[in-house]
């Protein structure tokens, strides 16, 4: 195969050639087998004294004609709309103000949720945040006749309805936690039962902390009354269906400390009737056979007396 001796690159101002086809061909091994077709398509970088020159092939002309977007120096990598929509399609300044308030309150509420996830203190710690978030969402959803109709432009203007979904997800968490059974959302305060339970819980945990360094038997004996009072309050709230996730999780952790960590045994009141009934059923066959035996002996005596 004959290689053209034409130079494939420009020369420097000094006149020295950077890369020639003769140079490339001289470095290629040539195959002398007649049945083999040698095809050379060379695209290379030739380096001489630190300069780099691109030797182009015949297919590079069309490739070079394709437009390439090059960001301006110092421009941000994020793309944004530079032109504005018509005035009748833009969100009003009033709606933007409501959206900023919703944004701030949403971030504040979610920031409260994560630290309150374990142990669960969602209802008591994040009550204020959820009440403020619900308040601004209610204002947006009810604003249908105000300037800009923010209810439609912010909540239902597209298929995704992002702000609506964000609030619904947080409301679902609140309802799933049954927080309304432990707090009064309008007044933003816990219920009386919840306050009483938290007071009993604090006294019980303080007792555990005070005696846990010594013998656990002393802890079980000295903290029994406080634990009984706490369990009684929990049973009353459970009966009245005033339990939320905070109360349930707190009681479960306290029971785990009492029974597993400190190995204390506290018989529950409902087990006493069960034990009594079980004992009665256990002795019932003995009483039956004993009464049958005595009754048969009396019949024998009567029959003997008649003879």
Q: Let me know whether 6 and 28 are in one domain.
A: yes
Q: Let me know whether 116 and 145 are in one domain.
A: yes
Q: Let me know whether 39 and 98 are in one domain.
A: no
Q: Let me know whether 127 and 211 are in one domain.
A: no
Q: Let me know whether 240 and 199 are in one domain.
A: yes
Cα separation, 242 vs 113, whole angstroms: 22
Q: Is residue 265 classed as helix, strand or coil in its secondary structure?
A: coil
Tens-level pLDDT at each residue, the chain (307 residues): 444 444 444 444 444 444 444 544 444 444 443 334 333 343 333 344 444 444 445 555 545 555 555 555 555 555 555 555 665 566 788 899 999 999 999 999 999 999 999 999 999 999 999 999 999 999 999 876 666 688 888 998 889 999 999 999 999 999 999 999 999 988 889 999 999 999 999 999 999 999 988 788 889 999 999 999 999 999 999 999 999 999 999 999 999 999 999 999 755 555 667 777 788 788 778 887 777 766 676 655 555 555 4
Cα separation, 201 vs 203, whole angstroms: 5
Residue 68 lies in a domain: no
Q: Which of 163, 189, 215 is the last residue of a domain?
A: 189
Residue 306 lies in a domain: no
Q: Is residue 295 classed as helix, strand or coil in its secondary structure?
A: helix
Q: Give the max Cα distance, the chain.
A: 155
Judge if the upstream peptide bond of residue 119 is cis by omega within 30 degrees of 0.
yes
Q: What is the pTM of this model?
A: 0.60
Residue 12 lies in a domain: yes
Q: Let me know whether 102 and 129 are in one domain.
A: yes
Q: Let me know whether 243 and 215 are in one domain.
A: yes
Residue 175 lies in a domain: yes
pLDDT of residue 284: 78
Residue 132 lies in a domain: yes
20 exposure class (CB count in 10 Å sphere: 0-12, 13-18, 19+): middle
pLDDT of residue 68: 52
pLDDT of residue 157: 85
pLDDT of residue 42: 36
Q: Let me know whether 200 and 252 are in one domain.
A: yes
* Counted domains in the chain: 3
Residue 36 lies in a domain: yes
Q: Which of 189, 221, 249 is the last residue of a domain?
A: 189
Residue 275 lies in a domain: no
Q: Let me know whether 104 and 128 are in one domain.
A: yes
Q: Which of 156, 189, 222 is the last residue of a domain?
A: 189
Cα separation, 76 vs 54, whole angstroms: 30
Q: Is residue 259 classed as helix, strand or coil in its secondary structure?
A: helix
Residue 304 lies in a domain: no
Q: Let me know whether 150 and 185 are in one domain.
A: yes
Domain span at 53? 1-58
Q: Let me know whether 97 and 169 are in one domain.
A: yes
Cβ contacts of residue 97 below 8 Å, gap of 6+?
A: none
């Amino acid at each position: 195969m004959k290689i053209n001796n034409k130079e494939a690159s420009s020369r420097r101002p000094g006149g020295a050639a950077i890369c020639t086809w003769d140079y490339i061909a001289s470095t290629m091994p040539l195959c002398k087998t007649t049945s083999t077709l040698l095809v050379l398509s060379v695209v290379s970088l030739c380096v001489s004294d630190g300069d780099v020159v691109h030797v182009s092939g015949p297919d590079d002309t069309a490739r070079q004609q394709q437009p390439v977007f090059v960001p301006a120096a110092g421009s941000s990598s994020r793309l944004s709309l530079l032109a504005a929509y018509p005035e009748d399609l833009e969100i009003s300044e009033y709606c933007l103000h409501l959206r900023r308030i919703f944004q701030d309150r949403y971030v504040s509420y979610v920031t409260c949720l994560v630290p309150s996830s374990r142990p669960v203190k969602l209802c008591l710690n994040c009550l204020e945040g959820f009440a403020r978030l619900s308040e601004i969402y209610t204002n947006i959803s009810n604003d249908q006749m105000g300037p800009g109709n923010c209810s439609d432009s912010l909540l239902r203007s597209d298929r995704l309805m992002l702000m609506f979904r964000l609030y619904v997800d947080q409301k679902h968490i609140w309802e799933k936690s049954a927080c309304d059974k432990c707090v009064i959302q309008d007044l933003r305060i816990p219920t009386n039962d919840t306050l009483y339970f938290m007071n009993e819980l604090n006294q019980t945990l303080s007792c555990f902390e005070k005696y846990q360094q010594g013998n656990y038997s002393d802890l079980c004996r000295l903290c029994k009354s406080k634990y009984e009072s706490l369990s009684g309050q929990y049973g009353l709230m459970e009966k009245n269906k005033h339990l939320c996730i905070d109360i349930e999780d707190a009681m479960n952790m306290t029971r785990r400390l009492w029974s597993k960590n400190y190995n204390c045994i506290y018989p529950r009141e409902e087990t006493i009737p069960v034990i009594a009934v079980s004992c009665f059923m256990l002795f019932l066959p003995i009483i039956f056979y004993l009464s049958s035996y005595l009754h048969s002996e009396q019949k024998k005596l009567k029959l003997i007396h008649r003879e």
